[in-house]
Structure 1
Amino acid sequence: MTLIHVRALPLLAFSLLAACAAPQAGRNTAAPAAPSGPVEVGIVAINDFHGALEPPRQAVLVKQPDGSMLSVPAGGGAWLASAVDSIKARHANTVVVAAGDLTSASQLASSLYLDEPSVGVLNRIGVEFNAVGNHEFDRGWKELQRLQNGGCEKTGRLQPCQLEQFTGARYKYLAASTFKADGSTLFPATGLKSFGEGADKVTVGFIGLSLKSVPTLVSPTQIAGLTFGDEAEAINKAVPVLRAAGADAVVVLIHQGGKTPAGDPNGCADFAGDITPILDRLSPGVDVVVSGHTHWSYVCNYQPAGTGAPILLTSAGVYGELVTDITLKIDPASHRVVSSAAHNVIVQSEPFTSSRGDVATTDAFPPFAPRADVAAYVKRYKDASLSLVARPVGRIAGSASKADGEESGTGGSLGNLIADGQLAATRSAGAQISFTNPFGIRASLVPAADGSVTFGQLYAVQPFNNELVTMTLTGAQLRAVIEEGLDDNGPKQVLSPSAGTAFTYDMSRPSGARIVSLTLDGKPVLATGTYRVSVVNFLAEGGDGYSTFAKGTDRTRGAIDIDALEDWIKAAPVRQVPQETRTSKVK
């Protein structure tokens, strides 16, 4: 018989936990039985689900021997549930975990209902621990606490519990480096799960945490009263606590990550990213790091700087398109991991048509059938939102594509279209220029055969309901804000400008000095001139590292971003998708 227990460990209770974990003397004088051998534990890991109740109409790219890329349609809550079940069936002992951003930036059928259905899907899948990601703060930390604890208290614009009494997440949010004003963590820092009995019992400890840069990624009002500490420090403090509480293995769930060349979901060639300096500062004792945030998939045996032992590092991409099957073999006698391995499983689901053509299923990877109970649950929410999702908003002349892969930091034709709509919506506030950030564009806009697009499609593109803010910036500040997306302080992001604005940049130049030219209506932008600029309030408050936007003056708040895009599309019988080059990279 296997005994499994789950409990969460607050960092403030170190000494008490250590005492509770200690065996009581005098209970049994018989010699303990010897362990029968290493105990295998399967860890099933996901990240960045983002409320993808239905297949997200995106593909996992797999590089073929001839160098071509095979596109595999993947994702969707019911298909993910089947994939998780198949992995759990291969292990006698399992735990399902996540590395953040399970909710927010979600599909309309989830977002309309405050991501309650996403929590419902993840409960049915069996997630047990989740690190808090940056997007989970999008509606504020009090709303995030409601997702954990349940209830129908209204904390924002939308009404909770519209279709069912919301009982909360059965999984535990972990937040080792996120602190409230009194110094306590917003959620527990750690958790434990044990497997087996007697001499064969093993315990796995989990540490969950957000990335330190959450304040640059979330509106300040949503995280007021919180501070975000150093990730490596939080992990290093938690490891001995877990070990003292009986953990034989330590797994970190962190919403930070890196990237490798596209096409190998199980590779780690040329790995780089903001997670590497965190890993390099970890003290010994961490066995596995499950990561996220970058929406990339990889499996690495990462060797930290110095003399530390290799760490198994994984990430399962985005939208439930992949799930990581991690196998640990733990020696209960020596209380250590004797072997570890991982493999990313592609959650092959339904074929679809993208802006680049048809994406068919393939025999190269096993397909998954949607799990019936999850499919029925998703259908309930999809049906409830159908009238809004299906509402036509206008017609466009061809697809407006969102760049992906290595080009995900550029806005493409869709970025241009959004920026044009924002400019039109804020002309009355004096706007001359508008920018949109490519990382805020969540999907391509692919019309029907007659060119029509629906509100549901627009919502998939811009699910955040941000307000437009028009401000005054100097020409020097305009140049500086574009430089902030191109500097060496984080992922590169090329702002998409509205029509009439163009710039050229050279990445071989030093960080902070990469703009070669910047023009408005064909004339150079003057450093001492003043210009009216419109962006969403997330950027206006300094989000995504664009701190110069926060210095803008004479601010006027305007329409919601998705309303501006809808109005722009329907203002023409057929809205042309701008194809001109507005941003140019010197090669």
Structure 2
Amino acid sequence: MTVLRRRHRGWLAVATVAAASLIGGLTTAAPASADRGAPSRTMDLQLLAINDLHGNLEPPQGSSGNITEIGPDGAPKATPAGGVEYLATQLKTARAKNPNSLTVAAGDMIGASPLLSGLFHDEPTIEALNGLGLDVSSVGNHEFDEGRAELLRMQNGGCHPKEGCYKPSGAEFGGADFEYLAANVVDQRTGLPIMAPVGIKYVNGAWVGFIGMTLEGTPDIVTAEGVKGLRFKDEVETANRYTKLLKLLGIKSIVVLLHEGGLPSSNVYNYDCNAGGSLGLSGPVVDIAKNLDSEIDAVVTGHTHQSYVCSIPDPKGQPRLVTSGASFGRLYTEINLTYDMRTRDIVRTKVAAANHVVRRDVAKDPVMTSVITEWNKLAAPVANRQVGWIAGKIDGRGSTAPESPMGDLIADAQLEATAAPDKGAAQLAFMNPGGIRSDFAYEGPEGNGVVTYAEAFTVQPFTNMMVTQTLTGQAILDVLAQQVTGANAANPRWLQVSKGFTYTVDRSQTGAAKIVAGSVKLNGEPIDPARTYRVSVNEFLAGGGDGFPALATGTDKLVGSSDLDALLAYLGAHSSATAPLPVPAADRITFTG
């Protein structure tokens, strides 16, 4: 296989600013004449795609480490999946079937990562992705968790500006061997993309163009500091613009890597998305896919952590594949393309794709094992510290219910951390479900029921600071309504609530009416719209993140400790080896209808 790569070191090195905005960052290191003498008119191309790894180098714990599939008896079953040691082995096996292969990703490779990667600002994950042979990736919203400068460091290398170099040898972090693409992320001042908007790869006579984007709504789900000075443009408008550019350059085989996704009608990873002639997929990606330029041959997506391979018609009514491979390295997507050497285009009628489970019954890849072993050794003094004891498994990310036991635990921890008069005098706390990144497994090598610092960090990796503020009762009612209206109308986002706060949701109603009037109570007393209350949330929610603008209306704000510190303190105060913390009941929100 001939796959030509180069390290991306600054796509703006072009003759003029105008040219920079159009043709910078193209990876075209092979001469156009290299495809002369091709033995046949067509060749088979393979794309191997992943998305939303989130630094999960080791197999994800708890329910987050399972994939739902149909068992031998025809019933759904949970299959353990994930871990880059197994992913690397299976990618190599897949590549062995076709020497004309590229490995691509649709964003959120880093950010919200377990301790093994997060403790070192995701340098271990970039190192692992280099070892996996990743060729190109779009940025995702979590690539911006630590801001533009840190993302550029992930691409270009260099040791952390505050913490320095992590390797005992003092070796400098080398950055990504693959290229990050950010076509729709521009500098507010210059209007230019902050990274390469497109990448062109040459594979044994075939030229393939990639357009990489994150969702336009990234500022709504990332802290304001993380996206400071940036503007996120419309996905369809951006992709169609760069499709025209690629066509001008003679590139007709085009794939979009998009960090935005959909919600399939089944949670079985390999269900038939187009069964019965109807589309079993909803969500933002559907309208985006329908409006992307018909010259685009396939769309690799992510963000929703779902698995699907769907055919969605393009503007000309032609079928086009849209794929997503779940999250945390539990699946990879194999996309098979037929490339016409004469037209330099993909034969769309022959495009096929399938998701494959990253099963743990194969040999571990030694390169990935070496990466994990080295970084685990550096992390061990912090990671293995025991911070609490639990009486049973506590579901968080893996919970299928709107209110999770982990959500209750975190909200209670945040309330307790901010309840004292000098800490904020909080009366209740809200926690966003997207900030809960994992579960607490009961069984583990450190002993059943033991919670380590690494496990706590994996659940709460953002270390957002806690903000306690004054909100009117009406604002609290507005917050609850915003769970099912506005930005969250299509897909309700249920905040997790602290003890003593209760209310009822009537699913038979529509909009804000779903929140049953008079059911919202604090310690048994109805919330009074005219009164004021002290409410504790993390700094992301305090800024109105996740579609909760009412939380940004607070006054008399007091910034306290981090959400992780709150969780650690709560575990330390309420659990011991002889009296482990009971599993929360998750019974504060009542659902009817």
Query: Is TM more than 0.5 here?
Result: yes
Q: Is the 8 A contact 1:153 1:160 kept in 2?
A: yes
Q: Which residue of 2 aligns with 1:364?
A: none
Q: 1:319 aligns with which of 324, 328, 339?
A: 328
Matches within 5 A, 1:173-188: 173-180=180-187, 181-188=189-196
Q: 1:259 to 1:385 in 2, by over 3 A?
A: same
Q: Structure 2 unaligned runs (5+)?
A: 13-17, 275-279
Q: Which residue of 2 aligns with 1:133?
A: 140
Q: Which residue of 2 aligns with 1:374?
A: 368
CA shift, 1:265, in A, is 3.0
* 1:561 matched to 2:569: no
In 1, the alpha carbon distance for the partners of 2:566 and 2:498 equals 13
Q: 2:218 aligns with which of 209, 214, 217?
A: 214
The Cα offsets for residues 506-546 of structure 1, whole Å up to 9 and x where unpaired, read as 23323233210211011111111111100111111111111
Q: What is the letter of the counterpart of residue 129 of structure 2?
A: L
Q: 1:55 to 1:7 in 2, by over 3 A?
A: closer
In 2, the alpha carbon distance for the partners of 1:391 and 1:16 equals 50
In 1, the alpha carbon distance for the partners of 2:5 and 2:164 equals 35
Q: 1:422 aligns with which of 376, 396, 414?
A: 414
In 1, the alpha carbon distance for the partners of 2:220 and 2:38 equals 52
Q: Which residue of 2 aligns with 1:104?
A: 111
The Cα offsets for residues 491-513 of structure 1, whole Å up to 9 and x where unpaired, read as 32211110000111123323233
In 1, the alpha carbon distance for the partners of 2:111 and 2:49 equals 19
Q: What is the letter of the counterpart of residue 317 of structure 1?
A: A
In 1, the alpha carbon distance for the partners of 2:222 and 2:216 equals 12
Q: 1:186 to 1:392 in 2, by over 3 A?
A: same
Q: 1:51 to 1:16 in 2, by over 3 A?
A: closer
In 2, the alpha carbon distance for the partners of 1:20 and 1:385 equals 36
In 1, the alpha carbon distance for the partners of 2:137 and 2:240 equals 19
The Cα offsets for residues 266-292 of structure 1, whole Å up to 9 and x where unpaired, read as 532521111112112222211110000
Query: What SS does the aligned partner of 1:70 have?
Result: strand
Matches within 5 A, 1:131-210: 131-154=138-161, 158-163=163-168, 164-180=171-187, 181-196=189-204, 201-210=205-214
Q: Which residue of 2 aligns with 1:359?
A: none
Q: Which residue of 2 aligns with 1:511?
A: 511
In 1, the alpha carbon distance for the partners of 2:396 and 2:505 equals 21
Q: Which residue of 2 aligns with 1:331?
A: 340
Q: Which residue of 2 aligns with 1:477?
A: 475
In 2, the alpha carbon distance for the partners of 1:3 and 1:403 equals 38
Q: Is the 8 A contact 1:262 1:406 kept in 2?
A: no
Q: 1:343 to 1:512 in 2, by over 3 A?
A: same
CA shift, 1:406, in A, is 5.1
Query: What SS does the aligned partner of 1:287 have?
Result: strand
Q: 1:83 aligns with which of 84, 90, 93?
A: 90
* 1:585 matched to 2:587: no
The Cα offsets for residues 230-251 of structure 1, whole Å up to 9 and x where unpaired, read as 0000000011111222223110
Q: 1:318 to 1:556 in 2, by over 3 A?
A: same
CA shift, 1:159, in A, is 4.2
* 1:546 matched to 2:536: no
Q: Which residue of 2 aligns with 1:363?
A: none
Q: What is the letter of the counterpart of residue 375 of structure 1?
A: T
Q: What is the letter of the counterpart of residue 253 of structure 1?
A: L
Q: Which residue of 1 aligns with 2:429?
A: 434
Q: 1:419 to 1:20 in 2, by over 3 A?
A: closer
Q: 2:306 aligns with which of 296, 305, 318?
A: 296
TM score, norm. by length of structure 1? 0.89
The Cα offsets for residues 368-407 of structure 1, whole Å up to 9 and x where unpaired, read as 2210111011111112212221111122232221253754
Matches within 5 A, 1:215-294: 215-260=219-264, 261-265=266-270, 267-268=272-273, 270-294=280-304
Q: 1:413 aligns with which of 379, 400, 405?
A: 405
Q: Is the 8 A contact 1:248 1:332 kept in 2?
A: no
CA shift, 1:581, in A, is 0.8
Q: 1:203 to 1:425 in 2, by over 3 A?
A: same
CA shift, 1:36, in A, is 1.5
Q: 1:343 aligns with which of 342, 354, 369?
A: 354
In 1, the alpha carbon distance for the partners of 2:371 and 2:131 equals 10
CA shift, 1:154, in A, is 1.0
Pick which of 46-55 and 388-397 moved more: 388-397
Q: 1:384 aligns with which of 354, 366, 378?
A: 378
The Cα offsets for residues 108-156 of structure 1, whole Å up to 9 and x where unpaired, read as 011111100100000000111110000111111100000100012416x
Q: What is the letter of the counterpart of residue 247 of structure 2?
A: R
* 1:60 matched to 2:70: no
Q: 1:2 to 1:381 in 2, by over 3 A?
A: closer
The Cα offsets for residues 179-206 of structure 1, whole Å up to 9 and x where unpaired, read as 012111011110111223xxxx321100
In 1, the alpha carbon distance for the partners of 2:285 and 2:362 equals 32
CA shift, 1:309, in A, is 1.8
Q: Is the 8 A contact 1:12 1:184 kept in 2?
A: no
Q: Which residue of 1 aligns with 2:526?
A: 524
Q: Is the 8 A contact 1:431 1:532 kept in 2?
A: yes
Q: What is the letter of the counterpart of residue 381 of structure 1?
A: W
Q: 1:460 aligns with which of 446, 458, 461?
A: 458
Q: Is the 8 A contact 1:395 1:447 kept in 2?
A: no
Q: 1:379 to 1:34 in 2, by over 3 A?
A: closer
Q: 1:75 to 1:12 in 2, by over 3 A?
A: farther
Pick which of 415-424 and 328-337 moved more: 328-337
In 2, the alpha carbon distance for the partners of 1:161 and 1:245 equals 42
Q: Is the 8 A contact 1:249 1:286 kept in 2?
A: yes
Query: What SS does the aligned partner of 1:96 have?
Result: strand
Q: Which residue of 1 aligns with 2:15?
A: none
Query: What SS does the aligned partner of 1:222 have?
Result: coil
Q: Is the 8 A contact 1:113 1:162 kept in 2?
A: no
CA shift, 1:318, in A, is 0.6
Query: What SS does the aligned partner of 1:401 have?
Result: coil
Q: Is the 8 A contact 2:470 2:554 kept in 1?
A: yes
Q: Which residue of 1 aligns with 2:277?
A: none
Pick which of 467-476 and 6-15 moved more: 6-15
Q: 1:444 aligns with which of 411, 433, 439?
A: 439
Aligned-residue sequence identity (percent) comes to 37
Pick which of 306-315 and 90-99 moved more: 306-315
CA shift, 1:425, in A, is 0.3
Q: Which residue of 2 aligns with 1:404?
A: 398
**Alignment length, in residue pairs?**
555
In 1, the alpha carbon distance for the partners of 2:143 and 2:21 equals 27
